[in-house]
Amino acid sequence: MKKPTLYELFKTALYVGVIGYGGAANLALMKKKFVHEKEWISEKEFMDALSLSQILPGSTGVALMGYMGFHLYRARGGILIPLAFILPATIFMLVLSWAYFQFGNISWVQSLFAGLGALVVALLVNATWMLGRGVFKKITWQSWKGFAIALAAFVGTFFFKINVIYLILIAGALGFLFYYFTKEFEDEKVKTGEPILSEPAQTIRMTARDWLAVAVLGGVVLVGFLLPSVRSLMIAFVTIGLFAFGGGFAVIPLIQHQVVDVHRWVTLQQFIDGIALGQVTPGPVLVTATFVGYNVVGVLGALFATLAIFLVPIVSMMALADIHAKIRDLKIVKVVVKGFLAGFIGLLTAITLQFAFKSLISWQAWVIFGASLVWIMYLKKDSLWAILGTVVLSLLIF
């Protein structure tokens, strides 16, 4: 494989961050650029990294970028490349957050967000369906275990308002109890002597510049925890990052629990609007942290909240990249993550209903919701066009 300069790697990550709309589309774009066009990483290594990214907490795309950066330039690449990937979305969300809180009370802006709120409900329905298909690839009599975990999470959050983090931990424990002692998941043993990574990555060692990059990242994080104005933001969003299994919309219940229910940094309506703004930007759904942070402490809060929510996938990928073949095949990892994901189905169902009760309150909203659902789920078209269509339709019919 070819070896890019760190600058070339940075530019490509920035490019993907600018034009990468949509989770699956983003991953496909990464594969096209890094594997097929640039030939910087083999297809097998890309797919292995993707399989590890999907069992790590946080954004799959950020973790995958972290792997490719770490694979080629160790800590320097593992830190710089995922940050380059999320930089465009962060800048876009900063601008949109400023505009929202500055002009959000204007009537036509409210009409716009009424339509985008209906679109968010459609996106949540689609996300719940896609997550369900991923967890329940084939419906058998043994599927009752996953359905039971999902139902327990739904009832716990929707009716009893149990702390979402507790529900996620319970879902993981149930996954272990239900699946570990069965033959549904078997360890895939790594053959003795089989290389975990390709030869170039194995021969690369951490240099002084790599340790400097780690020190700079650690220093910035430490500053965030020491600053009273952003400390609570850092703690909350690092906590979200630790439990953000499934990525994308699956994490929305966890974010809402922290920013709406616990800390009350934004109202439920503002949170829905923040997610809608996130769909206008490229990059991961978790960039909603930028919106929340901006409302709490301005630009400083936006930057530290964004760093905090993406910190876990960046650090965990660097820690586990060299042993990913062993980690992804561990039976205990598979069964616990299975429990987490089944639990997120229940949590996502509950949040979808809550958003629906808040957003689908007029015939116009139902029209946009129905049209968006047909476009995304039935016709399987790009959600970017659904966003643009919603903007136009909202201004016409509300």
pLDDT at 394 over 80: yes
**pLDDT at res. 310:** 96
pLDDT of residue 22: 65
pLDDT score of 188 more than 70: no
Q: What is the pLDDT of residues 82-138, one digit of tens each?
A: 999 999 999 999 999 999 999 988 888 999 999 999 999 999 999 999 999 989 988
CA angle, residues 134, 137, 143, in degrees to nearest 5: 110
Alpha carbon distance, N-terminus to C-terminus of the chain = 54
The span from the CA of 174 to the CA of 338, in Å, is 9
Top pLDDT among 330 and 344 is at 344
User: Is a pLDDT exceeding 60 seen at residue 201?
Assistant: no
Provide the pLDDT for residue 204: 62
φ/ψ bin of 53: left (φ > 0), alpha (ψ from -120 to 50), beta (otherwise): alpha
- Alpha carbon dihedral 351, 352, 358, 364, in 10-degree steps, equals 170
Question: What's the confidence (pLDDT) of residue 28?
Answer: 85
The single-letter code of the amino acid at 287 is V
Q: Against a cut of 0.95, is the pTM above it?
A: no
Percent of the chain with pLDDT over 90: 73
Task: Write down the H helix ranges in the chain.
Answer: 6-19, 23-30, 43-53, 60-103, 107-135, 144-158, 164-179, 199-203, 208-226, 228-243, 252-256, 268-280, 288-297, 299-320, 324-328, 331-359, 363-373, 383-397
- Give pLDDT, residue 325: 66
Decide if pLDDT at 199 tops 50: no
* pLDDT classification of 189: cutoffs 50, 70, 90: very low
Averaged pLDDT for residues 375-387: 88
Q: What per-residue confidence (pLDDT) applies to 211?
A: 95
Q: Which amino acid is present at 258? A: Q
Of 398 and 257, the structure prediction assigns the larger pLDDT to: 257
The rounded distance, in Å, linking the Cα atoms of 218 and 122 is 39
Residue range 133-173, pLDDT digits in tens? 989 988 888 899 999 999 999 999 999 999 999 999 999 99
Residues found in the chain? 398
User: How far is the C-alpha of 100 from the C-alpha of 118, rounded, in Å?
Assistant: 18
CA-CA-CA-CA dihedral for 50, 90, 126, 29, to nearest 10: -40
Q: Average pLDDT in the 347-353 region?
A: 96
What is the per-residue pLDDT for 6? 95
Query: Quick check: 3 and 41 in contact, CB under 8 A?
Result: no
Average per-residue pLDDT for the chain: 90
More confident residue, 155 or 19: 155
Q: What is the b/e burial string over 151-188, where b = at least 16 CB atoms within 10 angstroms of the residue's CB? A: bbbbebbbeeebebbebbbbbbebbeebbbeeeebeee
197 — pLDDT class (breaks 50, 70, 90): very low
Cβ(206)–Cβ(365) below 8 Å = no
Confidence label for 184 from pLDDT (cuts 50, 70 and 90)? confident
Q: Are 179 and 145 in contact (CB under 8 A)?
A: yes
DSSP 111: H
The average pLDDT across 312-334 equals 86
% pLDDT > 70, the chain:
94
- Please say if the pLDDT value at position 191 is more than 60: no
Q: What secondary structure letter does DSSP report for 379?
A: S
pLDDT at position 186 is: 64
CA 125 to mean position of chain CA atoms: 17
In our burial notation (b when 16+ CB lie closer than 10 A, e otherwise), range 74-84 reads bbbbbbbbbbb
The answer to whether residues 81 and 278 touch, using CB atoms and an 8 Å cutoff, is no
Tell me the backbone φ, ψ of residue 263, rounded to 5 degrees.
-95, -20
| pLDDT tens digits, one per residue of 54-74 | 889 999 999 999 999 999 999
Which whole number is the average pLDDT over 296-300?
96
Two tokens, residue 308:
């905090």
Smallest CA-to-CA distance from 349 within 140, 126, 97, 60 is with 126
The 8-class DSSP code of residue 378 comes to: I
To the nearest 10 degrees (0 to 180), the angle between helices 164-179 and 228-243 is 20
Band (187; pLDDT cuts 50, 70, 90): very low
